[in-house]
A and B are shown apart, each in its own frame.
Chain A
Amino acid sequence: MLSMQNISKIYRTDVVQTHALRDFSLEVKEGEFVAVMGPSGSGKTTFLNIAGLLESFDTGSYFLDGEDVSNLNDDGRSHIRNERIGFIFQSFNLIPDLNVFDNVDVPLRYRGMKSAERAKRIQAALETVGLASRMKHIPAQLSGGQQQRVAIARALAGEPRILFADEPTGNLDSLMARQVLDLLEGINSNGTTIVMVTHDPELARRAHRSVHVLDGQVMDLKAVPDAPKRETGAKA
């Protein structure tokens, strides 16, 4: 599903060069739930930006869902982000002016879907996260956990092949964090690959496996204990 080989990324400013990633390689199989761990400054976020096609890299190769995405132009990358990738952020990143329905609608809009189809998907996604009754609320009227569930619904509505989560529970209390994690596990069990960046070992333990990143490199590539054998392409 995700295959990175010898990726490196250097940030240049007038004064210094920072090697954010060097010789970074990672394989994630379809249906996996992988936690990427590491201290702050280790390159986790850069990895996520590159993996999520938010940022380009300098050298190396990257295959996502069987497609070489190393040399895609901006439009091509936007297209893949929109159709195959879902994002969940630590700070939820809902658009404050739009209500729940419209927030979930955002990625679907860029896909050029018919209005009826969009409404159906939004309804389904919000039911999955248990917020179908809050469609007309704006984010400020929701709790942190609810906001993150809306964000998950937004990621799900596009029926992505892979979900990237960046500290998805970082801004939540433990009860809400557990609900969110349960949700993610459920999504994963329906066949969606999940890559989660976190520095919380508790969280990482819920994943199938953990990858440790330090100084822009993967430290240990443990063998996958028991690769999940589930049907692929299941609906969320």
Chain B
Amino acid sequence: MFSYYLRLAWVSLRRNPVLTGLMALAIAVGIGASMTTLTVLYLLSGDPLPGKSAQLFYAQVDSSPYPNDHEPLDRMDDRSALDLWGAHKADRQALIVDSPVKLRAPDSPKPPRMAVLLSTTADFFPMFAVPFQYGAGWSADDDAKKARVAVISAELNDQLFGGADSVGKSVMLRGSEVRIIGVLKPWRPSPLYYAVAGGRFSGGDTADFYSKPEDVMAPYSASLEINDGNFQQFTCWHPPEHPGHLTDSPCVWVSLWVQLDGAAKVATYRQFLADYAAQQKSLGRFIHADNTRLRSLMQWLDFNGVVPGDVRLQNWLAFAFLVICLSNTVCLLLAKFLRRGSEIGLRRALGASRKAIFCQCLVESGLVGLMGGSGGWLLTLLGLWLIRQQQVAYADLAHLDLGMFTATLGLAIAASLVAGLLPALRASRIDPALQLKTL
């Protein structure tokens, strides 16, 4: 029966190409707008590390000397961070600090450029499943020895070494020569989750959380020496004595991520954080002992509201738009089906059940949806292209993957079926007797 309905739908749609086109266009525009924004939202709000994110936690203690009971600050002072990291109470732990650094290849005539240096510790690479193209990360021993080693991004490797295996070569970070021990594969976490902080102070303008990963990664201990004077605070309660030199300063600037495999370990670590804060209070270094946090990766992203306000707003707008397009389609389908009232009456007289008429109309709606969906898919591609032209950090992420492509067609057909329900129901209630005189 389905193929019969499909043929009838095709005949019916061809009879009135303008009306059919209008309906398909309305659906296409609605789908195009909503799928464009939904794709962006999906790319920006997804789990950046599926399967692993539940084991990763962001630790916070409150070292503020002010007696207000707010959320603890988004990063830690270096002393607390080092204490917690050095205790090795988690399965893995990594410190995170970003700073701008002057970089050039030794013996290169090219002028130096500014790069972003990620100062971290050995566990960073296995913890965040960072993919390597050549070489590997450094060891805990390198951290301890303040080894002058570095891991560079695929992009930097392309720029400096034309994409060749550069392990064993070196780069100049500021005045220091560091040896490359690893080159990453192209890697584009969305967002750059381990560096996220301060979302609540951003007023929804969080596009920069979706920046590309750092160009260079080096041991935390070594980079404090290499890039001294160029570190940036998250915030300070007094201006640091030497701007850019933040070790033992009244500033928060270091993040600590820990990996905890299992709920028991999470509970234990929570207790460890509380105990640490209490101990620091008794030492007189903290005044807040009971203000610690241990958020999972997704909770931390959520707390920071990583999805930019504009993106969420666009999404709502696009869905309001889709609803309007659909209500428009409902009107047009209703007009289309009722205009054929006499034919439907005749079919009823010849023995079609209400269900048969209902199905016939729904198949026709679905066919319109398929056409609208195809158009919507093209418009989605156009919309994403427009987004890629924008100057936002996540512009390069805006691509349609297979999942979203299927979702686009699925949404279009589902939407048009929903839009077709009411008109089809109305059409199936057409009285067989009344309409027969005027076919």
| B346 and A82 within 8 A (CB) | no
Once bound together, how far apart are the Cα atoms of A75 and B355, in whole Å? 9
Using CB atoms, name the residue of chain A closest to B342: A93
User: B343 near A: Cβ within 8 Å?
Assistant: yes
Q: Tell me how many residues of A have a C-beta within 8 Å of chain B.
A: 32
| A110 and B352 within 8 A (CB) | yes
| A95 and B346 within 8 A (CB) | yes
| A54 and B349 within 8 A (CB) | yes
Q: CB-CB < 8 A to B355: which residues of A?
A: 75
| A52 and B349 within 8 A (CB) | yes
Once bound together, how far apart are the Cα atoms of A212 and B186, in whole Å? 91
Q: Which of A26-69 contact B (CB under 8 A)?
A: 49, 52, 54-55
Q: Which of B344-390 contact A (CB under 8 A)?
A: 346-356
| A87 and B350 within 8 A (CB) | yes
User: B437 near A: Cβ within 8 Å?
Assistant: yes
Q: How large is the interface on B (under 10, 10 to 19, 20 to 34, 35 or more residues)?
A: 20 to 34
Q: Which of A80, A82, A158 has the most CB of B within 10 A?
A: A82
Q: How far apart are B336's CB and chain A's nearest CB, in angstroms?
A: 13
Once bound together, how far apart are the Cα atoms of A106 and B262, in whole Å? 65
User: B433 near A: Cβ within 8 Å?
Assistant: yes
Q: How far apart are B317's CB and chain A's nearest CB, in angstroms?
A: 40
Q: Of A75, A97, A109, which one neighbours B4 at CB under 8 angstroms?
A: A109
Q: How far apart are A164's CB and chain B's nearest CB, in angstroms?
A: 10
| B349 and A110 within 8 A (CB) | no
A-B contact pairs, 28 of them (CB 8 A): A54-B348, A54-B432, A54-B436, A55-B432, A55-B433, A74-B354, A75-B355, A78-B354, A78-B356, A80-B351, A81-B349, A81-B351, A82-B351, A87-B349, A91-B438, A92-B439, A93-B439, A94-B439, A95-B346, A97-B11, A97-B12, A106-B346, A107-B350, A107-B351, A110-B351, A110-B356, A111-B351, A158-B351
Q: How far apart are B335's CB and chain A's nearest CB, in angstroms?
A: 17
Q: CB-CB < 8 A to A110: which residues of B?
A: 347, 350-353, 356
Q: CB-CB < 8 A to B346: which residues of A?
A: 93, 95, 106
Using CB atoms, name the residue of chain B closest to A55: B433
| B353 and A91 within 8 A (CB) | no
| B353 and A75 within 8 A (CB) | yes
| A81 and B433 within 8 A (CB) | no
Using CB atoms, name the residue of chain B closest to A56: B433
Residues of B within 8 A of A (CB): 1, 4, 11-12, 15, 342-343, 346-356, 431-433, 436-439
Extra contacts, 20 of them, besides A87-B349, A95-B439, A110-B356 (Cβ < 8 A), are A49-B433, A55-B433, A75-B354, A78-B354, A81-B432, A82-B351, A91-B439, A92-B439, A93-B439, A96-B439, A97-B11, A98-B11, A106-B346, A106-B350, A107-B351, A110-B347, A110-B351, A154-B350, A158-B350, A158-B351
Q: CB-CB < 8 A to A82: which residues of B?
A: 350-352
Q: How far apart are A103's CB and chain B's nearest CB, in angstroms?
A: 10
| B1 and A109 within 8 A (CB) | yes
User: A225 near B: Cβ within 8 Å?
Assistant: no
Once bound together, how far apart are the Cα atoms of A93 and B350, in whole Å? 11
Q: CB-CB < 8 A to B350: which residues of A?
A: 81-82, 87, 106-107, 110, 154, 158
Q: CB-CB < 8 A to A230: which residues of B?
A: none
Q: Of A78, A94, A97, which one neighbours B15 at CB under 8 angstroms?
A: A97
Q: How far apart are A193's CB and chain B's nearest CB, in angstroms?
A: 18
Q: Of B351, B432, B437, which one neighbours A91 at CB under 8 angstroms?
A: B437
Q: CB-CB < 8 A to B356: which residues of A?
A: 78, 110
Using CB atoms, name the residue of chain B closest to A166: B436
Q: CB-CB < 8 A to B342: which residues of A?
A: 93
Once bound together, how far apart are the Cα atoms of A195 and B323, in whole Å? 51
